[in-house]
């Protein structure tokens, strides 16, 4: 049977990441094995609380990277498009500069070769 991690932490489904952290801290202090030595119930309960916290903190959709508004997403896409355009312009400019450098190097070698033959 699958564990109900929200129930273990005493939370309603869909709790925020901050609520999950607060519940974990409160319960881990209460059920910590060092505060309740030689009691298997507290040890097992503490392990369940840790497992619930680890699972929910990894799988909660409440962190800032996934809860952006649509306006923020559009703005980040615009910034990315502008950055991509700058990179494309830089690539073209670099190609031109490299091409000119090759021409100058070739002309320089040709001039030296021409001087040596005369």
How many separate domains does the chain show?
A: 2
Query: Which residues, other chains included, contact 28 with Cβ-Cβ below 8 Å and sequence gap of 6+?
Result: 46, 49, 50, 53
Please list the pLDDT of the chain residue by residue as tens digits (118 residues). Answer: 678 999 999 999 888 999 999 999 999 999 998 888 889 999 999 999 999 999 998 888 655 444 455 556 666 655 665 555 555 556 666 677 677 767 766 677 666 666 667 6
Query: pLDDT tens, 39-72?
Result: 999 999 999 999 999 999 888 865 544 445 555 6
Q: Are residues 11 and 54 in the same domain?
A: yes
Which among 59, 80, 100 is the end of a domain? 59
* Angle between helical axes of 17-30 and 40-59 (0-180°, round to 10): 170
Last residue of a domain, one of 35, 59, 83: 59
Report pTM.
Answer: 0.51
CA pair distance 5, 19, nearest whole angstrom: 13
Give me the domain span that covers residue 41: 5-59
């Amino acid at each position: 049977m699958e564990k109900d991690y929200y129930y273990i932490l005493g939370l309603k489904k869909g709790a925020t990441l901050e609520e999950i952290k607060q519940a974990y801290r409160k319960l881990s202090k209460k059920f910590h094995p060092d505060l309740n030595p030689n009691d298997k119930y507290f040890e097992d309960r503490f392990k369940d609380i840790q497992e619930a916290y680890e699972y929910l903190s990894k799988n909660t959709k409440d962190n800032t990277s996934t809860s952006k508004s649509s306006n923020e997403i559009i703005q980040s896409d615009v910034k990315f498009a502008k950055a991509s355009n700058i990179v494309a312009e830089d690539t073209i400019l670099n190609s031109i500069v490299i091409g000119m450098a090759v021409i100058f190097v070739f002309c320089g070698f040709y001039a030296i070769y021409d001087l040596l033959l005369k």
